[in-house]
């Protein structure tokens, strides 16, 4: 099974090598690495050129943001399965993609997901928050449950059938996409392992304004996908609190 890993990057000279190294170190034998650079000006492209012979697709051009870049990556993907690794993040260990592949145990499986930990921006060994996903049910989805998007892998055919990221969302297109997938009745498998280490400081939590924008977009996504409304949004936000204390 070929797995396409898409990394969108813009001006991440200090972290992009770590992300790419963690992809290239995976024990799974068939990984397609796709990198979509938004026209970086800080030396990121120089770093990427050092990996040119190990990157299946490398595009560097201006885009309309991360979701536009990820959509480009999906169009280039040739793997049976598609996933994403942000330019700040790394896989939890060298067997993360092997665990993903093991979840696709039958042709009827459309998506596999696992757990994620948030780590310190300057110290990736310091775990700040543990996002243990657990099993998917529609009832849990309506209660605000959601698997972590960086640990979510879906068949390329599912993206062709259900669509990619709606770029009308500035911050929450990943949430909208997963709501669309999960509410469509796709077959999923939960792999109870931490698959990705994600650095703190993402776009949605960067400022109070972004947090409010994220909540507005989350609510719009819930309504658009007919999953819930304000009560679901409130439960979604409060469900994050135990992740800072439970391991």
Per residue in 124-139, pLDDT (tens digit) is 889 999 999 999 999 9
Predicted structure pTM score: 0.93
Residue 204 has pLDDT above 60, yes or no: no
Place of tokens 């997963």: 178
How many Cα atoms are found within 13 Å in the side-chain-facing hemisphere of 183?
Answer: 20
Residue 38 has pLDDT above 90, yes or no: yes
What is the bridge-based pairing of β-strands 3-9 and 127-131?
A: unpaired
- The encoded tokens of residue 162 equal 């259900």
What b/e readout covers 168-203, taking b as 16+ CB neighbours within 10 angstroms? ebbbbbbbbbbbbbbeeebebbbbebbbbbbbeebe
Distance, in Å, from the CA atom of 210 to the CA atom of 84, rounded to the nearest integer, reads 22
Per residue in 173-190, pLDDT (tens digit) is 999 999 999 999 999 999
3-state DSSP percent of the chain in helix, strand and coil, to 5: 40, 20, 40
Confidence grade of residue 51 (pLDDT, cut at 50, 70, 90): very high
* Beta bridge partners of residue 6, listed in sequence order: 34, 84
Q: Which of 94, 96, 95, 187 is nearest to 84 (CA)?
A: 96
Average pLDDT over residues 28-56: 97
CATH topology of domain 3-244: Spore Coat Polysaccharide Biosynthesis Protein SpsA; Chain A (3.90.550)
Residue 206 has pLDDT above 70, yes or no: no
Q: Which of 52, 4, 48, 9 is nearest to 28 (CA)?
A: 4
């Amino acid at each position: 099974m070929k797995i396409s890993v898409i990394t969108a990057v813009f001006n991440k000279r200090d972290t992009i090598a770590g992300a790419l190294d963690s992809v290239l170190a995976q024990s799974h034998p068939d990984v397609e690495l796709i990198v979509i650079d938004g026209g970086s000006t800080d030396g990121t492209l120089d770093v990427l050129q050092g990996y040119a012979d190990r990157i299946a697709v490398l595009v560097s051009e201006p885009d309309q943001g991360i979701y536009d870049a990820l959509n480009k990556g999906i169009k280039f993907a040739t793997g049976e399965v598609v996933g994403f690794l942000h330019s700040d993040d790394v896989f939890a260990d060298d067997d993360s993609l092997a665990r993903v592949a093991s979840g696709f145990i039958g042709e009827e499986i459309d998506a596999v997901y696992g757990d994620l930990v948030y780590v310190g921006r300057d110290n990736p060994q310091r775990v700040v928050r543990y996002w243990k996903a657990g099993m998917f049910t529609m009832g849990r989805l309506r209660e605000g449950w959601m698997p972590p998007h960086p640990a979510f892998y879906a068949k390329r055919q599912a993206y062709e059938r259900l669509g990619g990221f709606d770029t009308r969302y500035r911050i929450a297109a990943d949430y909208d996409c997963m709501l669309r997938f999960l509410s469509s009745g796709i077959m999923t498998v939960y792999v109870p392992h931490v698959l990705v280490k994600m650095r703190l400081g993402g776009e949605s939590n960067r400022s109070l304004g972004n947090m409010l924008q994220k909540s507005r977009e989350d609510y719009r996504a819930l309504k658009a996908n007919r999953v819930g409304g304000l009560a679901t949004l409130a439960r979604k936000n409060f469900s994050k609190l135990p992740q800072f204390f439970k391991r």
